[in-house]
Amino acid sequence: MQRYFIYLAYDGTNYHGWQIQPNGCSVQECLMKALSTFLRREVEVVGAGRTDAGVHASLMVAHFDNEEELDVMAVTEKLNRLLPPDISVFKVCPVREDAHARFDATARTYKYYVTTAKYPFNRQYRYRVHSVLDFDRMNRAAATLFDYSDFTSFSKLHTDAKTNLCKIMHAEWTQVEDTTWVFTIQADRFLRNMVRAIVGTLLEVGRGKLSIEGFRNVIEQQDRCKAGTSVPGHALFLVDVEYPDTLFVKT
């Protein structure tokens, strides 16, 4: 049995997230249908994570198995013909038979975009804020995330996660356009709703409604009710998933 990693991107606007849902279309479901059509059998696909409804990915990774070796270029081309326009595959590569798209990932990176301007072509991919934000204060608050590993305060309640421990390696706001800022965060793993809750709480810091020490207290209380409101998912992008080189089969 040969295992393969699929590298793909998707616009999450019309999907109920990555994971298959009983009452809505998901990215995972579309990818499994395309693979099943191509391989003429039922195919199980496992993703690197579960993006929420409306969240996008410029890079998501998933794995599947096949009994025979595949022409990866042909698989890529065929899948792109079968998938809808808002999902695209840009690479399929063989990996070790025990490689796992979710559990072997060493780091994941998300970006969240906010803008202070009304612009019709950004409305699906930017969160518009109407107040003046102090991004220097927000960055100083974001730096406190490195001092902690338990992020219960930023996790969706009643999930199936066995632990709320994460290691955050990067968290920073940067200006990318005159009216647009992006929050980039990298960690070994993320909890459900974690990035959106962190951004929502940092916006409270930027508005002057929460101090930097208050942000630290939110983390330490390990209580979701103490954190800010989660920001909408449409401005959030999964942009990278990293793996050890030893997982990949050289061709």
Chain centre distance of CA 147: 22
**Residue 245 among the catalytic residues:** no
Nearest to 37 by CA among 85, 92, 75: 75
110 is in an annotated binding site: yes
> Which residue type does 206 have?
G
Distances in Å between the alpha carbon of 13 and those of 53, 104, 110, 152, 220? 8, 28, 17, 27, 34
Instruction: Confirm if 191 and 156 have CB atoms less than 8 A apart.
Output: yes
Which one from 52, 71, 136, 147 is the annotated catalytic residue?
52
Cβ partners under 8 Å of residue 226, min gap 6 = 153, 217, 218
Distances in Å between the alpha carbon of 233 and those of 21, 29, 200? 17, 20, 11
Supply 208's token pair: 């002057």
* CA–CA distance, 5 with 64 (Å, rounded to integer): 7
**Adjacent-strand bridge partners of 5:** 63, 93
* CA–CA distance, 220 with 177 (Å, rounded to integer): 34
Chain centre distance of CA 200: 16
Q: Residue 144 carries which DSSP code?
A: G
* CA–CA distance, 123 with 117 (Å, rounded to integer): 10
- Known binding positions: 110
- Known binding positions for substrate: 110
Catalytic residue numbers read: 52
